[in-house]
Structures are given as structure tokens and as C-alpha cells.
A and B are shown apart, each in its own frame.
Chain A
Amino acid sequence: MTSRVGVVQFPGTNCELDVIQVVEQLGGTAEILFHLESALGGVDAVVVPGGFAHGDYLRTGAIARFSPVMDAVARHAAEGGPVVGICNGFQVLCEAGLLPGALQKNAGLKFLCEDAVLRVETTDSALTNMATVGQHLNIPINHFEGNYVCDPNVLARLRAEDQVVLRYVDNPNGSLDNIAGICNAGRNVVGLMPHPERASDALLGSEDGLVLMQSILAACGQVMSMPR
């Protein structure tokens, strides 16, 4: 059965079509989940894509997380379903409490759109199950608020429980412990700042994002085996 991916759309989201395109390129099917929906319509996985939900006004993700669709996403996550937040989606998942910590302004106080080299830190996650530990991936970043922070206890736990999924080889934004992506304790909810969908075609300069997008599709079949 083909994997069905729901891609959340808030007013201000802008990467939803890009994610859908790559999911379809990989043989999955994808559909938009408008922020006012209160059910996910039976999708296997959810991607919260990049953009500027509600303009990122007040704080990134602050308003978006109250959307009806986020309640449904939280239920899906609680049942072990894969949920991946990319860039603004990562910020939304943190605000919603589905992932620990928060994302602040880049240390250089500038928006950054450029390639980043990432190191895969664990393959035990809905985003990296097809990758290899230690693998380097060239995937672009595109954000102003990608500087990951959390309190020391949370960081200790993230490290101890192998919840840091991706690290920057060369930290572009001041993120704590070079963190580019993390997962929850259940390993089914993952957030990352870089944009794997933008590294999906040799014509665009890199295909290194495909392994991550494929992992999301692969996670679709494994929902029930995900630990709670």
C-alpha cells in the first residue's frame, strides 16, 4: 500500500507544495491538511512544513499551535504515528509541546539561506531510519530562528536518550550542541531546521534529502511498532 502523508497548511505556510512534490516523486501520496481540519483523514504520517505560519508573528509557531489540526496531530503522535516538522514545522512542534526546547534567532541575527552539512546521529527515528549513523548530508537551511535552546536537564536527556537526530558539522546559527534536529522519546515525532525537500533532485544541486524523505515514507508502515 502506498504511504499517505498529510501535509499541514496554516495561513502563511509556504513549503507545503514542495513537500508534496517530493513525497509523490518517491511514490507516496500526499494531501493538504488545512489548519481548520479537526481530523487527519486517515493519513499514515504528518509533515508540518516550512514557511511562516500566521506570519511567525509574536513568536514562530505561537499562534499556529492552537489550530484545530494540531490537536489531531497531537493525537496521531500520541498513538505513535510519524510526525515530522521541517523548519517552521519544527518551531510549531516545539511550541505545541510535542518536542522539547525552543528555537531562537540565529546567533548572527541574520536570516540564513545556504547549504549546510549535517551528520546523522541516530537512525532510530521516523526521519532517519533509512540513513546511516555518521553519514554526512548536504541539505540547505533557510531560517531566521533556528538557534535551538533548551534547559540543561532537557539537553542531558536528549543526549542520554539518543534523541539528537541530526547535528550541523559547522554550526551556522548558534544552536546548542550543534543540534539541527531532535526527536521525542517515542522517536516518532521529529523536528529539523534544514529542508530535506530542497535537496531532492540533482538539478537543484543535491539529492541528499531524499534519504530523509524516504525514511518518513518508510516510517508509515511501522507505525504500530513505534515505541510509545
Chain B
Amino acid sequence: MTAEPLHRALGMTDDELEAVVDELGREPTHLELAMYSVMWSEHCSYKSSRSHLKRLPTEAPWVLVGPGEGAGVIDVGDGIAVAVRIESHNHPSAVEPYQGAATGVGGIIRDIFSMGARPIALMDPLRFGSLDDARTRYLFEGVVSGISGYGNAVGVPTIGGEAVFDECYHDNPLVNVFCLGVLPHERLVLARAEGVGNLAVLLGASTGRDGIGGASVLASAGFADADESKRPSVQVGDPFEEKKLIEACLELLDADLAIGVQDLGAAGLSCAASETAAKTGAGMDVDVARVAKREPGMTPVEVLTSESQERMLAIVTPDNLEAVLALCERWEVRATVVGRVTDNARFRVYDGLFDALGVPGVNPAPPHGDAAQDASSDREPLADVPIESLGDGPLYHRPLAPPNDLHDKQSDDPARELAARFSDGADCTVELLALLSSPNVADKTWISRQYDHQLFLNTVVGPGRDASVLRLQETAGRALALAVDGKARFCALDPRTGARLAVLEAARNVACSGARPLALVNCLNFGNPEHTEVMWQFSEVIDGMAEACTALGLPVIGGNVSFYNESRGADIDPTPVVGVIGLIDNLKTRPVGTALTSGDRIVVLGETRSELGGSEWATMHGLRNGVPPIADLDTARRLHELVAALVVEGVPSGIHDCADGGLAVTLCEMAIAGEIGFQVNIGGALSCFSESASRVVLSLAPDREQVVLDRAADAGVPASVIGKADGTRLTAEEAFDVSLTDATTAWRDAIPSLMAAVVAH
């Protein structure tokens, strides 16, 4: 048996090796090969997705920083900007849910403060298998605890999120984390290592063997297939270290002591040190001997590719070094000079050179428990490569093709089967209660009460509503509305329409708070890109998202691609998750809630068709075919503008977006929030559970009804009065009749009672 060649063991193809040899004009050293393998991994280089991502619209006058940096940044007025980013931590969370989710939170927060922004909010779109399954409950419990444990302790509130349960995520849960930060314009920094002789200072945790090869192995290869030995050791999050890093880095930037700070994420030091320099055409020398190591005997390869958490790289001038080290000491943050900017456009790695040359900023005496530094003073580089070649990974135009059964699936409309089972006028109270207690629809307080969602006194609307609302105290009365949404079941049937629907839903949620959508970030969770259908789904999703964003004037300011979400050979449903940031110009009172008010009229804006493909109700009956609802972009834009205006003017007394479970569920949620019943006519089962897009339900004082109907007519938005709020029963003629108490119990107790069962491995 011949041993596998090194480059393949590192996850590189033969062609990729050849490209490296061409680049260097010689065989790479082990260290060089290891660095290329992580930097050219799918996760770091976006080699399969780059060619598609460029079709997304990214520009608008208020965009200060678009995709490609640590985070996207937009102007929100009064000299204030917000930085936003979303990322996945899917595979680590499948291995160790608590730590996987915790380190996901840590990573995204570092992206935000590396821009000079103070992280002030997190959101957590999550996907799991069915909660009837014990392993899934273990994953769910662990992920939520991990987000809670890390997010709360690091001091960034989690103000909302999403939790979706579907069989396709059974072995491959999705843990996406969104983070938002605020900054005065003048603190905006991009990680750039300009200036020959400037120093790269490594801040924070010591470097261990954890996560070695994480980027290349875990995020870029068939996950279930990776054998035990290839799995990196699990990373453990240390929120306390991160909290100190946040304070130290922001203070460094406020004091103008750092030219830039860069987080160490995927591909660790290799990526952070080379990227900062490559962006300016400079070079960088790194000395591994300077890096504080957690374990004895770590090799340069391990040091350069370790993904140990809670580390940052600050670029500082030699003049400021002393002040930087003093500031870090005050915050009890380790700070060591590990790199130096050169003018040769090369990335070189040494072992012991800096001490030999007397470069300042040595590692402080290792605290107990750290491995002693084994210093050598070798002046020969262990790696010496053109610096931009590391970030210049291959670009793949992978073949794509729609799945063969697409047409069959799409033409199998679940409405046929459902119509046969539930004839007109059939009582569907039982169906309604089943929907209300489906974990996808049911109350998510079991999750959100575990998260600090109030820190910093900004949270005007926390979890549990269409969008979360944060006041921006640094501005004159402005506020942000934030929503995250993904519509994977629609994407499974028609990825292009599904992507449009996700954008529309998030934008609509934001509009329901009276906000104007400003920008979007996306986290694209897909299966194996080497499968032609997956690449087709990806391409379609990009087009659908681009169309919707263009129509709504929404620039895409950042994103993340997570491929290889598969297990046992099956790809997950294409799951693009979007986060939309909206702006409220002048927030004087709390935006109206979702509650119905007794005596109010109930009005639906938007059109209801019998659209059940991909709906919660059809899925509940095992019917997973058909086409998703129509995603008319122009109607949506008009609806959003109308709704935002009505909310700002304080017209409705209650408002709720209509989504999963259709009008029936939306009305029940409004009744539960208002603790009041309703009597409506919304047709039979096929229309009351339909998930037609672009609909919003309003609770209106009787004297406001006509205003709204007139305004809707002017805007070209269909509107209909469906009934009134009153009493203690929830009644839809020809469809259902249930007591408020029963509906409330079904909705509120579903997740807590599932999770009351013991959670074991």
C-alpha cells in the first residue's frame, strides 16, 4: 500500500498542487503546502461560489463597506455606521453542539469588532431535524445552551433568531449566527498592514492544536466520510478572553494605537497575517517562535494553521508598540509581536529569527501551564511564497444541472390531495391545533429566554415578534429593525423563487416594524458543490436573491457560503438564510405589537391564493412536492412601503406578518398575544393554511378601517376586511372553532414539553 501523497491528505487536488509548483517554481515545503491547502480550501477561497456571487447587487449610496471584508458596513446617519455579518458553524456544531455553537458566536463577534465596531446584537438562525428524535433534542439543547453560554458571558445580547425543524437537517444541523455592531464613522478600520517595519501583534489566547485543518477538512469535504483521525480536536470557547479582547481592541482603535485589527478565523495565522499585508501589496515575515503555544512540541505547520479561538492580530507602528503592550496588559490580554511588514510582497515564516534580530515585543514570560518556548534562531525561512498567491485560490466553474425529477415534483401539487381529504367546509380545528403545536410554528420562548436580549438598553422589541427593534442611542432617535429568514422548503421545490421568498419575508418583517429595508446579508447553506444539482440550486438561489434585492433596492453587503452540508450521501435542502437590516428614522414610541385588540376590525393586505406547495400544512401531511407561492416583487415592494408608512403613522393597533401556517396561524398568534378571540371568514382549509407571499394582517380600530382600505387601493395593494376581534373563541367560518385557551396551550407548551424529556447523548 502506498501512502497517500501529502497534498491529497491535506485535501488538495493534483491540479491545485501543480498550480502551487508553478507559482513557486519548485516543490513546496510541508509548511507551504499546508498553508496553501487551508487558504485554498472552499471555506477560505470560495472557489466554487465566487463566480456566482458576483451576480448579487452590492452597491447603494449608504454602503460604506461591501462584501469582501470582515463585515459589511452601512451608514445610518448622524456620523454612525453599523457593521453586519452572518456566518455558519454547522459542522463543528454537529460534532459538539455546545462548543460548536459557542465558538460560532465568538467567531462572528470578532469579525464585527475587527472593523472597529462594538458588537451590540446577535441573532441565531438554526435548523435541526425533528424534535421527536432524541439525538436532535440533544443537539438543539446543546446549541441553544452554547449560544446562551457564550453570548451572554461575552456581553452581546441575542435579540432574535429562527428555529426550523426538518428531517433534512437530521445529521447536519445548521447553526448560523448574525452579528451587528455600531461605530462612529471615524473608527472604521480595514485590516491593512501598510508600512514597512510595522509590527503584527498577536493578541489573546495561546495557540493550541485545536481546529487544526478545520477550514479545509471540516468545511470542505464530505463530512460524514472524514475519518476520526482527520477530525480536528474540538475547539472550546472562552467568552471571558473574548470580552477582554473586545475591550482591548476597541480601546486600541479609539486611542489610534493600531492601524488595523484582524481576527484569526479559518486558516488561523496563515490567513490573518498574509491577508492584511496582501491587501496593500506589502509582504509579511512571521516568526513562529514568538507565538505562545498551549502544548509542547507544536510544529510550525500546526502553529500557522491552528484555529484556536479568541485571537486577534493588530498592526501597529514600532513607535506605538510600548503603548499597545501596556494597554493589553491592563486588560490582561496577552500581546506578542509575531510578524513584521516588509516591502517584498512575500509571505515568509521563520522559527526564531525575531529574537535573533532583536525585534521588540517578545512574548511575556509564559504563565504557568503554557508550554515552554523552544527557541531556535534559524535564519532560513520555513516558507517563502508570493503573498497574494495565498489568497488567490483557484476559481471553479463547477458543472450544474437541475435535478431530473424537477418537473415531476413541481407538477405534483399537494392541493389536490389536500382538497380530497379536506372538502370545502370540513372542520379543520384539529389541523389548526396540530400546526400551532408544530415546533416550526410554536412559541420559541424556550429558546429566547435563555439569551440575554436586553444588554446595552437598546432592545425596544426583543425576540418573539416579526422583527427585533434596536434603538440607536448614538443617533438622534433612529432605530434598526432586524429580521432573519430562510425558506428552505420553498427552495427545495424551486430555489430561485424560494430565495426571492426569503428576501421578501425578511423585508416584510422589517416593514411591519415601520422600517425601510437598507441592506441584506446572507448565509448560503448548501450540500456538496461537486453534485451538479447542488450547484444548480446555488446558481438559482443567487439569481433569485439578486432579483429580489434589486427590486427592493437592497444591497447585499456580506455573506457566507457553507457547502458540503450532507450526510449519508444526501444533501440538505438548499437553505439560503438572509438577514435584513431596516432603518426607522424617528422612533418615539414602541412600534405596535402583534396583538389583536377587542372590538377591532381585522384586515388582510395582500392576496390569498390556494398555494400549498412547501407549506407547513402540506409538509405536516408528508406532501413535499409542488411549487412554492408566487413571489411577485413589485407587489411586495408596494406592500412593504404601505405597511411601513401605516406603522410609522400609528394607524394599526396590531400588525403581524403572514407566513408559516398561513392566515389561520397568523390570526391565532395575534389572538394569543392579545388574549382575545376573533370571528373571521377566510375560506376553507385550502385558503386558510395557504402560504401565499406578501400578506400582512392588521388589527384596526373601527374608525381606521376605511383609511387603510383607501390607502391600500391607492398603493395598488389588495385589502380585505375578514372579521373582528372579540370574545374568547377563535372562529373561522367553514374552517375552525377553538377556544383561546386551547390554542394558547398548544402553541406555548409545544417546545417546552418536547424538551422536558431527558436530553442525553
Contacts and interface: CB of A to CB of B under 8 A. Distances in A.
* Chain A–chain B contact at Cβ < 8 A: yes
A197 B243 CA distance: 21
Interface string B219-253: 00000000000000000001111011001000000
Contacts of A112: 449-450
Interface in B435-460: 448-457, 459-460
B448 to A, nearest CB: 8
B331 A197 contact: no
A52 B590 CA distance: 30
Interface string B240-269: 110110010000000000000000000000
B457 A55 contact: no
B457 A140 contact: no
Given A11-B243, A11-B332, A110-B450, A18 B152 contact: no
A161 interface: no
Contacts, number: 82
A204 interface: yes
B456 A17 contact: yes
B587 interface: yes
A188 B288 CA distance: 54
Interface string A99-128: 000000000001111100000000000000
Top 10 closest A-B pairs, CB basis? A55-B240, A14-B155, A52-B153, A111-B450, A111-B148, A114-B449, A198-B454, A113-B452, A18-B457, A142-B452
Interface string B143-170: 0000011001101000000000000000
A191 B450 CA distance: 22
Given A12-B244, A14-B455, A197-B457, A203 B589 contact: yes
A12 B153 contact: yes
B91 interface: no
Interface in A170-192: none
Given A18-B457, A204-B460, 4 more contacts: A36-B330, A111-B148, A142-B454, A203-B460
Interface string B698-723: 00000000000000000000000000
27 contacts: A11-B247, A11-B331, A12-B153, A12-B243, A12-B244, A14-B155, A15-B455, A17-B456, A36-B330, A52-B153, A52-B155, A55-B153, A55-B239, A56-B153, A57-B240, A110-B449, A110-B450, A111-B452, A113-B152, A113-B448, A113-B449, A113-B454, A142-B152, A142-B454, A197-B457, A203-B589, A204-B454
A54 interface: yes
B471 interface: yes
Given A52-B239, A111-B148, A203-B589, A140 B454 contact: yes
B716 to A, nearest CB: 34
Contacts of A142: 152, 452, 454-455
Contacts of B239: 52, 55
Contacts of B450: 110-113
Nearest to B446: A110
Contacts of B330: 36
Nearest to A17: B456
A132 interface: no
Contacts of B153: 12, 52, 55-56
Nearest to B755: A110
Interface in B6-24: none
Interface in B503-552: none
Nearest to B588: A203
A205 interface: yes
Contacts of B243: 11-12, 14, 52, 55
A205 B243 CA distance: 28
Contacts of A214: none
Given A14-B155, A203-B471, A52 B240 contact: yes
A11 B457 contact: no
A45 B519 CA distance: 45
Contacts of B149: 111
Contacts of B152: 52, 111, 113, 142, 144
Interface of B: 148-149, 152-153, 155, 238-241, 243-244, 247, 330-332, 448-457, 459-460, 471, 587, 589-590
Nearest to A56: B153
A135 interface: no
B456 A51 contact: no
Interface string A146-161: 0000000000000000
Interface of A: 11-12, 14-15, 17-18, 21-22, 36, 51-52, 54-57, 110-114, 140, 142, 144, 195, 197-198, 200-205
Contact of A51 (B148, B155, B332, B471): B155
A22 B473 CA distance: 13
Contacts of A110: 449-450
B244 A18 contact: no
Contacts of A54: 240
B238 A203 contact: no
A142 B157 CA distance: 11
A204 B243 CA distance: 25
Contacts of B332: 11
Contacts of A21: 457
A11 B460 contact: no
Residue among A36, A112, A113, A204 facing the most chain B CB atoms (10 A cut-off): A113
A201 B457 contact: yes
Contact of B457 (A57, A111, A200): A200
Contacts of A12: 153, 155, 240, 243-244
Nearest to A14: B155
A18 B148 contact: no
Interface centre among A17, A21, A203 (most CB of B within 10 A): A203
Contact of B456 (A18, A36, A140, A144): A18
Nearest to A51: B155
A195 B452 CA distance: 12
A141 to B, nearest CB: 10
A84 B459 CA distance: 24
A201 B589 CA distance: 11
A18 to B, nearest CB: 5
A217 B90 CA distance: 48
A51 B452 CA distance: 11
A21 B448 CA distance: 25
Contacts of A22: 457
Nearest to B449: A114
Nearest to A11: B244
Contacts of B449: 110-114
A97 to B, nearest CB: 24
Nearest to B331: A11
B647 to A, nearest CB: 16
Nearest to B456: A18
Contacts of B244: 11-12
Nearest to A198: B454
A128 to B, nearest CB: 22
Contacts of B590: 202-203, 205
Contacts of B241: 55
Contacts of A57: 240
A57 B240 CA distance: 9
A203 B479 CA distance: 11
Nearest to A201: B457
Contact of B455 (A18, A111, A114): A18
B661 to A, nearest CB: 25
A205 to B, nearest CB: 7
Contacts of B457: 18, 21-22, 197-198, 200-201, 204
Contacts of B455: 14-15, 18, 142
A40 B37 CA distance: 55
A196 to B, nearest CB: 12
A174 to B, nearest CB: 16
A201 B588 CA distance: 12
A127 to B, nearest CB: 19
A201 B458 CA distance: 10
A11 B155 contact: no
A197 to B, nearest CB: 7
Contacts of B459: 204
Nearest to B155: A14
